[in-house]
């Protein structure tokens, strides 16, 4: 990786961590040697993963995981078959841009591709290309599915979205060589840890109110019991001497009486940091919010 171009996420994703990275960097334990294993169990678009790969070129290995199988298949395609993926994306991009000025036809094109994606009958590379196409052209880059796992986000209003970022796909593909890519529940990542590993958790955030819920990335909801299961997992990692950093919403910022996370993580270090959220249907609600960064701060 040394000397190669910087990688960046190839997707827009709810909760993308780009703005939080500065704060995460300050919370990193004193990584005296950079030869460690990095594990990200809720990888999403991988903003922190790519930052780690850029900044720690001597990273021993990285392990990423997500429960969203379509997302993980797209990572696998980029890793193993970037050129074919690029060819398909180039076609999608030129067909879509060719319809500029004809809104009805453009809309029809988007909804046809969405229906094709939802059949899940295409082979993995075409399916991954459709995944990227929809991510680039849908409303706010949201990923939302219904109970039948059908992607149901409407078309967005981007003028000329980049659908095929050839250069980035190639550098991401190169960077993914040292990354193990897993699909499933976050707990399975423990068996991939080395003696001392660094975990970064960015789970679906606990909603600040009933209506602000953004955590429908997968069919199954990430409710309070899941947040507690994650805390139990963090306790296990701590007992095993692994280091972890976790982000989540600051429910106390909204309701001073709400001690949910302060109670759950009482024995660890909890920091409140400013973070800008960009995904909200209502622009007035895209203002500043505090988020939590919690860590067990064991040096690795």
Ligand X SMILES: C[S@@+](CC[C@H](N)C(=O)[O-])C[C@H]1O[C@@H](n2cnc3c(N)ncnc32)[C@H](O)[C@@H]1O
CB of 14 to ligand X, least distance (A): 6
The distance in angstroms from the start CA to the end CA of the chain is 22
Nearest to ligand X of 13, 199 (CB atom): 13
Which residue among 7, 10, 17, 163 contacts ligand X (CB under 6 A)? Answer: 17
Which residue among 10, 53, 59, 68 contacts ligand X (CB under 6 A)? Answer: 68
CB of 142 to ligand X, least distance (A): 12
Alpha carbon separation from 268 to 76, 142, 235, 260, 265 (Å, rounded): 35, 32, 10, 14, 5
Residue 67 binding ligand X, by CB under 6 A: yes
Residue 45 binding ligand X, by CB under 6 A: yes
Residue 133 binding ligand X, by CB under 6 A: no
Those residues whose C-beta lies under 8 Å from the C-beta of residue 172, and which sit 6 or more positions away, are: 7, 10, 50, 78, 82
Applying the rule CB under 6 A, the residues between 188 and 207 that interact with ligand X are: 202-204
Q: Which stretch binds ligand X (CB under 6 A): 65-73, 78-86, 256-264, 281-289?
A: 65-73
Residue 38 binding ligand X, by CB under 6 A: no
Which residue among 90, 122, 174, 185 contacts ligand X (CB under 6 A)? Answer: 185
Residue 180 binding ligand X, by CB under 6 A: no
Nearest to ligand X of 82, 204 (CB atom): 204
Which residue among 130, 171, 175, 218 contacts ligand X (CB under 6 A)? Answer: 218
Nearest to ligand X of 169, 218 (CB atom): 218
Nearest Cα residue to 92 out of 72, 110, 70: 110
SS3 42: coil
Those residues whose C-beta lies under 8 Å from the C-beta of residue 20, and which sit 6 or more positions away, are: 247, 273, 275, 291, 293
| Bridge partners for 270 per DSSP | 294
| Bridge partners for 274 per DSSP | 290
Residue 141 binding ligand X, by CB under 6 A: no
Residue 82 binding ligand X, by CB under 6 A: no
The enclosing H or E element of 92 equals: helix 82-98
CB of 84 to ligand X, least distance (A): 25
Between CA 69 and CA 72 the distance in angstroms is 5
Residue 181 binding ligand X, by CB under 6 A: no
Asked if 216 contacts 150 with a C-beta cutoff of 8 angstroms, the reply is no
Asked if 174 contacts 220 with a C-beta cutoff of 8 angstroms, the reply is no
Residues of this chain that interact with ligand X (CB under 6 A) are: 13, 15-17, 41-42, 44-48, 65-68, 185-186, 202-204, 217-218, 222
């Amino acid at each position: 990786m040394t000397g190669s171009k910087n990688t960046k996420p190839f997707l827009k994703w709810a909760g993308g961590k780009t703005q939080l990275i500065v704060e995460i960097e300050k919370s990193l334990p004193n990584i005296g040697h950079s030869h460690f294993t990095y594990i990200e169990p809720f990888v999403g678009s991988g903003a922190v993963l790519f930052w780690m790969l850029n900044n720690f070129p001597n990273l021993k290995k990285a392990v990423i995981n997500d429960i969203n199988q379509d997302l993980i298949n797209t990572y696998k395609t980029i890793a193993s078959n970037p050129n074919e993926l690029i060819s398909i994306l180039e076609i999608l991009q030129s067909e879509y841009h060719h319809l500029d000025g004809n809104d009805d036809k453009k809309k029809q094109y988007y909804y046809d591709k969405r229906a094709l994606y939802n059949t899940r009958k295409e082979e993995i590379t075409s399916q991954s290309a459709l995944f990227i196409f929809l991510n680039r052209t849908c409303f706010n880059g949201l990923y939302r599915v219904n109970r039948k796992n059908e992607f149901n986000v409407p078309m967005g209003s981007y003028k000329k979205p980049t659908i095929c970022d050839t250069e980035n796909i190639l550098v991401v593909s190169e960077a993914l060589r040292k990354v193990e890519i897993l699909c499933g529940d976050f707990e399975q990542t423990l068996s991939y840890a080395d003696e001392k590993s660094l975990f970064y958790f960015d789970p679906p955030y606990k909603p600040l109110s009933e209506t602000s819920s953004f955590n429908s990335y997968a069919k199954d909801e990430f409710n309070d019991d899941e947040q507690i299961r994650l805390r139990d997992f963090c306790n296990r990692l701590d007992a095993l001497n692994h280091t972890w950093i976790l982000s989540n919403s600051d429910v106390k910022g909204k309701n001073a009486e709400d001690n949910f996370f302060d109670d759950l993580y009482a024995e660890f270090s909890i920091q409140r940091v400013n973070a800008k959220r960009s995904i909200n249907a209502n622009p007035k609600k895209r203002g500043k919010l505090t988020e939590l960064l919690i860590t067990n701060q064991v040096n690795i």
